[in-house]
Structure 1
């Protein structure tokens, strides 16, 4: 009898199908748990997560002060979660900023240079007084205001440093503790700091839930930062910040701050040891942006990027375009504030927590009411409110023509003046198409650049215009804006004279429609 008969083949096939069916549907087995974060981080009625969320620390007295500059072995990172008590929910207004829920979970990492900071600005001093843990990294080793500065570059091989010209400044700083490079030369070293700095943080302070990397000029809201991070699971590998794109490569801008989670560092450090010398260091040699190098490394470490634009702002209250999308989003950081503005913002946050406690977020709506709305007016002299959606520029020679007609006793340059239906081709230069308009608007557009009054009347007549600005420079220009911005005072001698104004009735109407934000929007990665 042959070994393989039709009956035997049928039995084998039937047995295989039966085993496959039982394996798929009949036998218990564990599926991979999803790791994607939830989109909406608003907190409702919920039970606390069971178990200890943070591993036991590996090193004593390293982290906040970093005075011993000890180094842990990354491979010893603890991953087992031991049972422990639920964290305290005491978040009353009488709590000191250092005793607030979540304050001990965060490591603040500051990146600077010898050319940049001689002493920390006032808002940074106040932040460090609230933080349990912080590390300062630079292009040299030293001390600032009694806090140790760690050298981010000292683990880069000597052969690499000798092959790149920018490290000449680094060697000068090592040889002479008082040598201060120019800002431009120090900036050339910045790109080399990121990857070694993140690796050093992973080894010096491996067991914190979240790591917030900032610059000296980054202004953080301590209460909003803690409330935001308290909504996240630190075990998810978060790499989050304000997105930017270069050649289809998406990365987090450094200035508003970059947030990394414990989960992200867990995935980063072994890839650093594996890929730094062969792939990442050659990339640093050719790429000019350190934050883009970090994004590439995180991608190769399988750490996904999450946009936190809205929570983190790359602008100031003066330069930000105010709109409905982030109106009720809490402000975790600003960037580009003057030292006086940053100090004022910190004082505002202190007053806010004393009045509302540590569980009430400070939203864009609150910032608008405090820092922007009081400065809006129908007309402000020597002020540039950054209106730019439509730009109307008078035709060449218009100013001379008006002066001549005025001398002849003709009432030119007013909105009532009869002008040709079709203006000359160079009568207006527009960055965007004109809004839909009637005959009276045709007239207004032709004379809008003649005076602030005409510019204002043109904005008033245009349905979606919220603000305007006018300059008499050249033959005159009128800019109309449908976006809401504050802008800032300008020196007429340095930047030319600008007169600005807002349609206050329209501004009040749309901001009322956006609401008073009884419920904050914590969603990100939108």
Structure 2
């Protein structure tokens, strides 16, 4: 009996073990809380970030757009839910056009960014191709053989089909660029026909190039709420350009057709595609031919949606008057790295409002602005000052000569501006008020924000742009140097004087 009482039952042993574990857990909790109560070291935020990473399905990275003083974006890029804030695109279809010589350079970035959030889209090219699970349709597959047979514009089309390896190996995109351009114009009308056949009855059709970026949140808000347009009407929207007096929506900037207009064009006029295929050899551009067909058959002209539908990219946008509080719907000439950067900016922006041109400047361009850059072209060309010597005048490009300020209208600083980049830099500074206490109205009316100097030509600009690098000159003479500079004081004063954009400056797309 005594022995029996000395031997504990299995249940009692389990209770004792559980008690010991509970006690140890309590001690561990107290130690943990005590450490948390202590002042957090500088590395605490990083340690906390590391501890929560496992809770995200995707990865969290340092945001490469984040810099000291740039409070537009979050310091971390959480890629676990890239489509969480993507708008509802029901009734809207994207149709993107590319070329076989560029598809594998341009399309993958689109597919990894904005296109990854679209439930459906169509891709067209001048050759049928496959990128992973995504199919690219040949817009010219049904083009009449008789129209192609004796047309040199189709030499590239035939060469691409005969290439037994990758297009990169057979076709030099740089040297064959003009051939790709000549071939491209034939895709527009056949693409309309195939789009309607494959994806009929959408409210809106957005057509874009492989170097076009679309701000989808802005675009859907504008089409469905802000514009006031009814897709049951025949509508053609874009950034208007002119050739020979004919207005058309610039293809690279992107353009929009209402479903009603596309249906009418294709279903009511079955011969339009064939007719314009023949016309193509005598016209320069496919976007022009589309506009001609819409006017001829539907009596519809393009409605101007610029600068919202825009032909520039962040580094070439002319920030300033007319390009500030306006929302952006598209941008053009975007390479893959730029597309990725703008997507990243949209993903990591701290604010959830309509994205305006000002936001692009403050988030992507302002952190890179500095007083001057050598071997750089910031695209200043609004007002020019050129060496008055006849030989120098002949040497200068006609575009710059046409924008010279008259000698009798120049002040003393401007008369010396062509002599050196240092002199050129003084032109914008000469507009500053002596007491630096000018009114906001005066600051808002500033007309000189930056300069560019090269070969005794000094030009200033009424807006501010970042621009792009120029090769260092082989000529050792100082006048061959490219120099660009920004009057940061004037730029920042203008921005302060403008104040906050209280409301997005939506533009009414009018004829």
Do the structures match in fold with TM over 0.5?
yes
Which of 350, 367, 374 is matched with 1:374 structurally?
367
1:54-88: per-residue Cα shift (whole Å, max 9, x none)? xxxxxxxxxxxxxxxxxxxxxxxxxxxxxxxxxxx
**In structure 2, distance between residues paired with 1:124 and 1:436:** 56
The 1:153/1:380 distance shift into structure 2, 3 A limit, reads closer
**In structure 2, distance between residues paired with 1:199 and 1:472:** 49
Q: Hey, which of these two has a bigger chunk of helix by percent?
A: 2
**In structure 2, distance between residues paired with 1:307 and 1:479:** 30
> What corresponds to 1:469 in structure 2?
451
Contact 2:385–2:404 (CA<8 Å) still a contact in 1? no
> What corresponds to 2:378 in structure 1?
385
Asked whether 1:228 is paired with 2:222, we answer yes
Asked whether 1:284 is paired with 2:284, we answer no
1:79-101: per-residue Cα shift (whole Å, max 9, x none)? xxxxxxxxxxxxxxx98637844
**In structure 1, distance between residues paired with 2:273 and 2:390:** 62
Contact 2:324–2:356 (CA<8 Å) still a contact in 1? yes
Contact 2:153–2:182 (CA<8 Å) still a contact in 1? yes
SS in 1 for 2:256: strand
1:304-325: per-residue Cα shift (whole Å, max 9, x none)? 3111111111012222222332
> What corresponds to 1:423 in structure 2?
none
The 1:452/1:350 distance shift into structure 2, 3 A limit, reads same
**In structure 2, distance between residues paired with 1:429 and 1:115:** 38
> What corresponds to 2:64 in structure 1?
none
**In structure 2, distance between residues paired with 1:386 and 1:488:** 8
> What corresponds to 1:191 in structure 2?
185
> What corresponds to 2:23 in structure 1?
none
Contact 1:365–1:516 (CA<8 Å) still a contact in 2? no
SS in 2 for 1:255: helix
1:492-522: per-residue Cα shift (whole Å, max 9, x none)? 2379522332333322232233342231122
Asked whether 1:452 is paired with 2:445, we answer no
> What corresponds to 1:102 in structure 2?
88
The 1:149/1:477 distance shift into structure 2, 3 A limit, reads closer
**In structure 2, distance between residues paired with 1:351 and 1:157:** 48
Which of 498, 502, 505 is matched with 1:514 structurally?
498
Kindly report the root-mean-square deviation, in angstroms, between the aligned alpha carbons of the 2 structures: 3.0
* Cα deviation, residue 462, structure 1: 4.1
Which of 209, 222, 229 is matched with 1:215 structurally?
209
1:20-47: per-residue Cα shift (whole Å, max 9, x none)? xxxxxxxxxxxxxxxxxxxxxxxxxxxx
The 1:430/1:210 distance shift into structure 2, 3 A limit, reads closer
Which of 438, 449, 473 is matched with 1:493 structurally?
473
Asked whether 1:524 is paired with 2:493, we answer no
Aligned residues: 395
SS in 1 for 2:137: strand
TM-score relative to the length of structure 2: 0.70
Q: Structure 2: which 5+ residue stretches go unaligned?
A: 1-79, 393-399, 433-445
1:289-316: per-residue Cα shift (whole Å, max 9, x none)? 1111110111122333111111111012
TM-score relative to the length of structure 1: 0.68
> What corresponds to 1:340 in structure 2?
337
Contact 1:106–1:212 (CA<8 Å) still a contact in 2? yes
Q: Trace 1:263-278 onto structure 2 (pairs within 5 A).
A: 263-277=260-274
**In structure 1, distance between residues paired with 2:158 and 2:424:** 58
The 1:224/1:397 distance shift into structure 2, 3 A limit, reads closer
SS in 2 for 1:97: coil
* Cα deviation, residue 106, structure 1: 1.9
The 1:291/1:470 distance shift into structure 2, 3 A limit, reads closer
1:411-439: per-residue Cα shift (whole Å, max 9, x none)? xxxxxxxxxxxxxxxxx96723249868x
**In structure 2, distance between residues paired with 1:522 and 1:201:** 29
> What corresponds to 1:111 in structure 2?
97
Contact 1:392–1:430 (CA<8 Å) still a contact in 2? no
Contact 2:325–2:357 (CA<8 Å) still a contact in 1? yes
**In structure 2, distance between residues paired with 1:494 and 1:272:** 58
The 1:437/1:121 distance shift into structure 2, 3 A limit, reads same
